[in-house]
Amino acid sequence: MRLYVNIDHVATLREARKTDEPDPVQAAAAAERAGADGITVHLREDRRHIQDADVTALTRSVRTVLNLELGAHTEIVRFATRVQPRPFQATLVPEKRQEITTEGGLALRRTDRRLRGAIARLQSAGIRVSLFIDPSLRTIDLAKEFGVPAIELHTGRYAHTWRRGTKALDELRRAAAHGKSIGLAVHAGHGLTYQNVQPVAAIPEIEELNIGHSIVSNAVFWGLEEAVRRMKTLVNGARNT
């Protein structure tokens, strides 16, 4: 199980003052020292947190791998395919300007030429593509048709309901098993916290978790390295029991 640390909200804090601290490059290095297996950032169309210059700096400084989240917008896809060195992975997400965070998975349609075009351009630039989707079996089958090697299951519903029962967790379990059975690498993320991560981390078919907000939030109290270390310990602990 790989833990990719999403450092968007380090940039959110910087952008609150439009200054130069805290620095996402320093944050990425700290996360890596603490055992992060990868660094994730979302270059949003409105550039509300991560900026183009951050991605350029991170592709050069990250020693593990960089996972770039992006919407299928021509300008952002072009940027992703040109930055040097290229990110290892691109996770395509739906993006709405007014949303506070990525609210749901991609609504896949076979006829979506914009999405197909984005996947083709990223893949021909040598970037591994993952699609951020809801944990529905039908959507997973459709993702496979798009010819990508990986999917990331949106864990938002689980994150909102885990205290009230196992329905969303069961849905994630079924989705992960199905994804793997049809040859997709299965990732997961969104809304995972120190309290709710372990049941998801225990799903054997999931090989990568993307976690941001909770880690950066707790870094305020523990420091970023300690926050990553504690999350890594929980993830590994769930896997080994």
Q: Which residues are catalytic?
A: 42, 69, 190
Tokens of 17: 């003052």
Shortest distance (Å) from residue 5 CB to ligand PXP: 9
- Which helix H or strand E contains 50, and what residues bound it? none
Residue 110 tokens read as: 């076979």
Q: Which of residues 82-121 bind ligand PXP (CB under 6 A)?
A: 91, 93, 101-102
* Structural contact between residues 200 and 161, judged by C-beta atoms closer than 8 angstroms: no
The site map against ligand PXP for 135-174 (x = CB under 6 A) is -----------------x----------------------
Residue 81 touching ligand PXP (CB under 6 A): no
Q: In which element (H, E) is residue 192 found?
A: none
Task: State yes or no: residue 54 binds ligand PXP (CB under 6 A).
Answer: no
Shortest distance in whole angstroms from residue 132 CB to ligand PXP: 4
Question: CA nearest 168: which of 145, 192, 132, 149?
Answer: 192
**Piece of the chain touching ligand PXP by CB under 6 A; list 22-30, 117-125, 208-216, 229-237:** 208-216
Q: Which stretch binds ligand PXP (CB under 6 A): 18-26, 79-87, 114-122, 210-218?
A: 210-218
Answer whether 162's CB lies under 8 Å from 169's CB.
Answer: yes
The Cα–Cα gap between 67 and 7 comes to: 11
Amino acid at 94: P
Among 212, 218, 219, 234, binds ligand PXP (CB under 6 A): 212
Which two tokens mark 54? Answer: 């951050």
Q: By CB under 6 A, name the one of 6, 81, 89, 139 that touches ligand PXP.
A: 6
Task: Find how far residue 178's CA is from the centre of its chain.
Answer: 20
Under the criterion CB under 6 A, does residue 191 sit at the interface with ligand PXP?
Answer: yes
Shortest Å, Cβ 146 to ligand PXP: 16
Q: Which residue from 27, 148, 200, 211 is in contact with ligand PXP, where contact means CB under 6 A?
A: 211
Enter the tokens of residue 171.
């849905």
Smallest Cα–Cα separation from 172: which of 215, 210, 135? Answer: 135
Residues that bind ligand PXP (CB under 6 A): 6, 8, 42, 69, 91, 93, 101-102, 132, 152, 189-192, 210-214
